[in-house]
Amino acid sequence: MFDFHTHSIFSDGALVPSELIRRAVVQGYEAIAITDHVDFTNIEFVLSNLKKFEPAKDRAITMIRGVELTHIQPAKLEKLALKAKMLGAELVVVHGETLVEPVERGTNRAAVNIPAVDILAHPGLITEEEAERAKENGIYLELTSRKGHCLANGHVAAVAQRVGADLLLNTDAHAPEDLITDELGARILAGAGLTPDAVITVMAKNPRAVLQNLRKVDHV
């Protein structure tokens, strides 16, 4: 299991990073990103504290420092995404226009036009035009196991497949019980209408491409 969207006590999660990562190891995760909610008021706090985390040298998991830009005015998203990268974020997630929160309209459209963004999380009723822009800018669209946010999974999957945009499955975990197994992940994707081959792409091929790209950036 790969998971590029989780939360710790640095925002609204239940666990400190070390316990979140340990529980992911026990679940058999290969990689996990901690992407706490940030805006202009707390981004330095979150990223400076994630930099303090010292993983075990023999760890059986890849830990990625990230942020989720949450309820940011669309016009200010690019500025904050660039600031996140400058402060050391390896992964920038944007909190998309989920059906269950009052995210400002235009967030999806702004996010998919920002190359510094890596993932558009739970993008709700994303349009084909927006998905095409995500594809052009190398931005992954998220399918999610999280209650509420998952209501649009079928729509997101269908739109992404029509235009050839890349998908990832993430948990948006806030508590230990939110972490999932590969088996459940595959069933969630099947429920969103993905074929067995597409499930493999979303759960294995695409996550490994994300990791490979991160490693390339580390060596630049």
Average pLDDT over residues 175-179: 97
More confident residue, 185 or 54: 185
Sign of CA dihedral 174, 66, 140, 59: negative
* Structural domain spans, the chain: 67-218
Residue with tokens 């035009």: 129
Q: What is the distance between the alpha carbons of residues 22 and 26, in angstroms, rounded to a whole number? A: 6
> CA distances (Å), 194 to each of 135, 142, 202, in order?
18, 13, 9
Q: What is the distance between the alpha carbons of residues 4 and 92, in angstroms, rounded to a whole number? A: 10
Joined tokens for residue 77: 């998203």
Q: What integer pLDDT is reported at residue 54 of this predicted model? A: 79
Q: What integer pLDDT is reported at residue 124 of this predicted model? A: 98
Please report which confidence band the pLDDT of residue 220 belongs to, taking 50, 70 and 90 as the band edges. very low
Q: What is the distance between the alpha carbons of residues 164 and 152, in angstroms, rounded to a whole number? A: 18
Average pLDDT, whole number, for the chain?
95
Joined tokens for residue 122: 């739970």
Amino acid at residue number 122: H
Please report which confidence band the pLDDT of residue 219 belongs to, taking 50, 70 and 90 as the band edges. very low
* Fold classified for 67-218: TIM Barrel (3.20.20)
Q: What integer pLDDT is reported at residue 218 of this predicted model? A: 56
Q: What integer pLDDT is reported at residue 136 of this predicted model? A: 98
Q: What SS3 class is residue 11?
A: coil
Q: What is the distance between the alpha carbons of residues 27 and 24, in angstroms, rounded to a whole number? A: 5
